[in-house]
C-alpha cells in the first residue's frame, strides 16, 4: 500500500494494530477521522488517553472500573454468596444484559492456554481461591466459553476448590460448544445461567 503522506502511513499502521482491523479498514477509519472537525478527533484522543491512564481493576472482582471497588461489588442488593467466574469484562456485560444474575463476579483475565503461554499464575485464580476460603461464598458458577481452553480452566479451578464446602456449578449447555459468551443472545445466556448444573455433571459428557 503506497501512501502519499508519512503521517497518514503512521496513523494507518497504528490503527491496524487493533484486533480485527486490517490495513484497508484502518485507512478508511483514518480518512474518516480526517474529515471530522479537529475538536472531534481531539475528544477521541483524550477519551482513549484518559481510559488508558485512569482505568482501574476492581480490587474485589478484577472487573474494569473507574474506582477501586466496582459498582456491582459495591451494590448492597447483590447476592454475595454466589460468584460467577468469567474470562473478562465482555462476559460480565453479556450476563448483566440478561438481568437474570444477581450475584457477584470474578474476572479471571483470560483462560489457561499453554499454546499462548498463559498458565494459572497469569490469571486471578489464586485470589478466587482465597476469596472462597475467607468469605461466605456458597456457590461458584463457571461461565467460561465452551472451548478446550475454557474447559481446561474450569477443571483446574474445580480441583483447587474441591476441598472447600462450596457448590460448584456450570452454565447449562444451551450455548453451543466453541461459542464465546459475548456473542450469545441474551435469552439463551439468561436461561443457561438459571438452568445451571453441578460442575461434576459436565465432566461426564
What integer pLDDT is reported at residue 69 of this predicted model? 96
Q: Vertex 169, ends 84 and 174: CA angle to 5°? A: 90
Pairing of strands 56-57, 64-65: antiparallel
| pLDDT by 10s per residue, the chain, length 205 | 788 899 999 999 999 999 999 999 999 999 999 999 999 999 999 999 999 999 999 999 999 999 999 999 999 999 999 999 999 999 999 999 988 899 999 999 999 999 999 999 999 999 999 999 998 999 999 999 888 899 999 999 999 999 999 999 988 765 544 455 565 666 667 767 776 777 776 665 5
Q: Are residues 13 and 45 in the same domain?
A: yes
DSSP-assigned beta bridge partners for residue 104: 83
- Same-domain status, 149 and 188: yes
35 and 101 fall within a common domain: no
CATH for 119? 3.40.1360.10
Asked whether residue 81 is domain-assigned, the answer is yes
The number of folded domains in the chain is: 2
Q: How is 68-102 classified by DSSP, letter by letter?
A: SS-HHHH-TTSEEEEEEEESSHHHHHHHHHHT---
User: In this structure, is residue 60 part of a structural domain?
Assistant: no
| Residue 15 sits in the same domain as residue 111 | no
Domain range enclosing 33: 6-54
**Are 87 and 184 contained in the same domain?**
yes
Q: Are residues 120 and 165 in the same domain?
A: yes
pLDDT value at residue 79: 97
Statement to judge: residues 47 and 80 lie in one domain: no
Degrees (nearest 5) of the Cα angle 7, 11, 15? 170
Angle at 79 between CA 86 and CA 170, to 5 degrees: 35
Residue given cell 474470562 in the structure block: 87
Q: What is the pLDDT of residue 177?
A: 42
CA–CA separation, 119 vs 108, rounded Å? 11
The H or E element that residue 28 is part of is: helix 23-35
Same domain, 81 and 157: yes
In whole angstroms, give the CA distance from residue 1 to residue 6: 12
Amino acid at each position: 500500500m503506497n501512501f502519499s503522506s508519512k503521517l497518514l502511513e503512521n496513523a494507518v499502521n497504528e490503527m491496524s494494530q487493533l484486533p480485527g482491523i486490517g490495513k484497508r479498514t484502518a485507512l478508511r477509519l483514518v480518512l474518516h477521522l480526517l474529515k471530522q472537525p479537529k475538536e472531534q478527533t481531539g475528544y477521541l484522543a483524550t477519551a482513549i488517553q484518559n481510559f488508558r491512564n485512569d482505568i482501574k481493576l476492581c480490587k474485589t472482582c478484577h472487573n474494569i472500573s473507574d474506582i477501586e471497588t466496582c459498582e456491582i461489588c459495591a451494590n448492597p442488593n447483590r447476592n454475595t454468596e454466589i460468584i460467577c467466574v468469567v474470562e473478562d469484562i465482555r462476559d460480565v456485560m453479556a450476563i448483566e444484559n440478561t438481568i437474570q444474575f444477581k450475584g457477584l463476579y470474578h474476572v479471571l483475565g483470560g483462560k489457561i492456554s499453554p499454546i499462548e503461554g498463559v498458565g494459572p499464575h497469569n490469571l486471578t485464580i489464586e485470589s478466587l481461591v482465597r476469596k472462597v476460603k475467607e468469605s461466605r461464598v456458597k456457590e461458584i458458577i463457571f461461565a467460561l466459553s465452551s472451548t478446550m481452553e475454557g474447559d481446561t480452566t474450569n477443571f483446574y479451578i474445580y480441583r483447587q476448590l474441591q476441598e472447600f464446602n462450596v457448590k460448584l456449578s456450570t452454565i447449562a449447555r444451551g450455548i453451543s460448544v466453541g461459542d464465546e459468551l459475548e456473542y450469545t443472545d441474551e435469552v439463551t445466556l439468561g436461561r443457561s445461567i438459571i438452568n445451571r448444573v453441578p460442575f461434576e455433571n459436565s465432566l461426564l459428557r
